[in-house]
Amino acid sequence: MLNFSDDRQLPTVLLIDDDFVSREVTATVLTMSGYTVHTAADGAESLKLLADGACVPEVILMDAQMPGLSGIGLIGELRARSLATIVAISGSCAPGEVAAAADGFLLKPFGAEDLDKLLKEHAQPAAVSGAPAGIENDPSAERKPLPESGEQVVDVETLAQLREMMPEAKVREIYEAIVADLGRRLDALQVAIAKDDAAEVRRLGHAIKGGCGMAGALEAARLGAAIEAGALETGSKGGVNHLDNRSPVLSDLRAATHNLKRMLKTEFPA
């Protein structure tokens, strides 16, 4: 069990997240806050890191919804190889079985202070009533929802915090990565819609919401949340929901990507 005090050395973290933007932002924020962070793009890569001894984490942050080895299956494999505290992270509520199997849960977007608070609670279980930290005990659960319309392209507080923690070039790099990632996600959405693959469309929406939310890209994060919630599903065809390639949500997401490009030129002039 972790034993924290106010003058403790921050634990080594293994971050497992298939979304590049979310992984990059989270790792950067935690590193700049004093944590030693190793990253893995999926469950298989994380197990290889542990097996090779390349990383001996005290805390493992794992995205709750990833392709391939994920969820309680991944938690079981991690527990067989590590004594680390396992915290599930997600842009949505984690599946109940994942929250129960993990030692805690954090809702994206979260910061180093949220992780710090959760780890302190985990180190002192007597101070936390009820079940192990999960959705019900999520310190981020009371965050205000994203604005429905007319929101800022980027949350000014998040942008200011990133600028305080890292060089200007690194902040620009993060937002450039978001723009590039949105372009790839838009292409992938087109393919998934053509295949009428609602599960993949929702997964892509979840990824957009999580990655953009971590960097305070409010407009794109809201649209990702709408896609995850089924905004591109347009009724039924033979009793089965189908997907609309002409949805205004896609046009709005393209516009949000364009707005982020304009923000980059304004905030980070060459």
pLDDT at residue number 261: 94
Instruction: For residues 17 and 167, give the distance between their C-alpha atoms in angstroms, rounded to a whole number.
Output: 24
| Tokens representing residue 68 in the block | 């391939």
Query: Other CB atoms closer than 10 Å to residue 98's CB: what's the count?
Result: 24
Cβ(216)–Cβ(159) below 8 Å: yes
From 11-20, 142-151, 231-240, the region with the lowest mean pLDDT: 142-151
pLDDT tens-digit series, residues 122-163: 664 433 333 333 333 333 333 333 334 455 789 999 899 888
In this structure, CATH architecture of domain 156-267:
Up-down Bundle (1.20)
pLDDT at residue number 236: 53
Helix (H) or strand (E) holding 89, with range, is strand 85-90
Question: Which amino acid is located at 168 in the chain?
Answer: E
Question: What mean pLDDT is predicted for residues 1-6?
Answer: 44
pLDDT at residue number 121: 78
Domain residue limits, the chain: 12-127, 156-267
pLDDT at residue number 123: 63
pLDDT at residue number 134: 36
pLDDT at residue number 32: 84
Question: What mean pLDDT is predicted for residues 7-32?
Answer: 86
pTM for this predicted structure:
0.74
| Tokens representing residue 46 in the block | 């994380």
Is the predicted pLDDT of residue 239 greater than 70, yes or no?
A: no
Question: What mean pLDDT is predicted for residues 91-97?
Answer: 85
Mean pLDDT of the chain: 83
Instruction: For residues 14 and 58, give the distance between their C-alpha atoms in angstroms, rounded to a whole number.
Output: 8
Say if 12-127 and 156-267 have the same CATH topology. Answer: no
Phi and psi at residue 124, in whole multiples of 5°?
Answer: -130, 70
Find, among 220, 11, 268, the residue nearest to 109 by Cα: 220
Find, among 108, 126, 96, 125, the residue nearest to 61 by Cα: 108
- Which of residues 48 and 3 earns the better pLDDT score? 48
pLDDT tens-digit series, residues 153-211: 899 998 998 888 888 998 999 899 999 999 999 999 999 999 999 999 999 999 899 88
Alpha-carbon radius of gyration of the chain: 19
- Looking at mean pLDDT, say which of 3-7, 21-25, 142-146, 195-199 comes out highest: 195-199
- Which of residues 148 and 37 earns the better pLDDT score? 37
- Who contacts 14 (Cβ-Cβ below 8 Å, separation ≥6)? 37, 38, 39, 40, 46, 49, 50, 55, 57, 59, 60, 61, 84
Give the largest CA-CA distance in the chain: 63
Phi and psi at residue 242, in whole multiples of 5°?
Answer: -125, 175
CATH of 12-127, one of 3.40.50.2300, 3.30.43.10, 3.40.50.170, 3.80.10.10: 3.40.50.2300
Question: Which amino acid is located at 40 in the chain?
Answer: A
Question: What mean pLDDT is predicted for residues 76-101?
Answer: 91
Instruction: For residues 153 and 162, give the distance between their C-alpha atoms in angstroms, rounded to a whole number.
Output: 15
pLDDT at residue number 6: 46
Edge-to-edge strand ranges of the sheet holding 12-16: 36-40, 12-16, 59-63, 85-90, 104-107
Cis-peptide, bond into residue 145, ω within 30° of zero: no
